[in-house]
Amino acid sequence: MQKIKLNDFKRLFIIFFLSFFFSSCGKKLPPPSFDRIKPDIKKAYYFSDGKIKLEASEEILKIDSIKINYQDSSILENFQIIKNLILVQYDPSLKVNSIDIFSITDLNDNVKDINKIKILGEPVKDEICPQIVKTFSKDSIITFLFSEKIKDIDFRVFPDFLKYSYILNKDKLTITFNNLNENFVEMVIDSFSDLSDNKNRERSEKKFFTEELFFDLNLKIENRMPKEIFYLYDVEDHIIMEEISDDKGNLVFTNLKRGRYKIKGKDFFLDTLLLE
């Protein structure tokens, strides 16, 4: 058996190391993957539903604010980010000159301000009705968010003795109640219109502050027209709630306290309903 000396091991190691070193010298190292390119806007054009669409060069993480420069004024407008698309609300009744974007940031935190963006094409006639996209409540305040700016709204609040104030600002309705001792509020919205006079006439009914209320009142109203409006009254003759019967005459009042109630409708009256 042939013996290998220690010097032979050293010699083999040196040859292997030099071979590996020289073979690696000719290879290019991969380029650094860190993105230092700031985002930009490739295209801006009028979109439907009272919006302007901006196409960014890459996916956008956040934007501080967007200002639309109208012919006689400049207004910070609401916007929505969908990956590399930005939908900006604007007033179709005003002429848009340009758009300024402040602190547009990509996924690698590259930040840039972009000014005087010009809009391509002509304004698209808005024929889409606005929608309610979100509702929430906190303390004595109820908030409705809409899909676009709202010009006017027709709503009612129950119980009808509640005192409140409201602010309709762009795409948000805020209702603030005074001394809200009741743990229940019903909001009924009959209609609301956007800046292009598209009116949503679909009745919307929302209930708030119902955490501690568990009683429901179920009735079958015979020989009545479908989709009739009925009102629930308390013993002091205040309207507590408004509901609409279904196609089969079923009527349900939900989230009630214990007590005595009355129901009234067109040529209809039902007295002394007790919930115990």
3 state DSSP class of 25: helix
- Output the DSSP codes for 113-162: EEEEEPPBS-PPP--PPP-EEEEEEETTEEEEEESS-EEEEEEEEESTT-
Per-residue model confidence (pLDDT) at position 267:
86
CATH code where residue 176 lies: 2.60.40.1220
pTM of the model: 0.72
Per-residue model confidence (pLDDT) at position 27:
52
In a domain, 14, yes or no: no
Per-residue model confidence (pLDDT) at position 19:
59
Per-residue model confidence (pLDDT) at position 28:
55
In a domain, 17, yes or no: no
Decide which of 188, 208, 228 is a domain's last residue: 208
- Taking the C-alpha atoms of 6, 7, 11 and 14 in order, what is their torsion angle to the nearest 10 degrees? 70
Query: What are 46-90's pLDDT values in tens digits?
Result: 987 789 999 999 999 999 999 999 999 999 999 999 999 999 999
Cross-strand partners of 86: 54, 81
Same domain as 52, residue 83: yes
Same domain as 227, residue 200: no
Structural domain count of the chain: 3
**pLDDT string in tens for the chain (276-residue length):** 444 454 555 565 555 555 555 555 555 555 555 788 999 999 999 987 789 999 999 999 999 999 999 999 999 999 999 999 999 999 888 899 999 999 999 999 999 999 999 999 988 888 889 999 999 999 899 999 999 899 999 999 999 999 999 999 999 999 999 988 766 899 999 999 998 899 999 999 999 987 766 788 888 887 777 789 999 999 889 999 999 998 888 898 888 888 889 999 988 888 877 776
By C-alpha distance, which of 53, 40, 30 is closest to 110?
40
Task: Tell me the residue range of the domain where 182 lies.
Answer: 128-208
70 burial type by CB count under 10 A (0-12 exposed, 13-18 middle, 19+ buried): middle
- Residue reference for tokens 């709202």: 150
By C-alpha distance, which of 237, 267, 236, 239 is closest to 253?
239
Same domain as 139, residue 111: no
Q: How far apart are CA 12 and CA 35, in angstroms?
A: 44
Residue 48: C-alpha distances to residues 122, 165, 172, 192, 262 (Å): 11, 33, 20, 18, 47
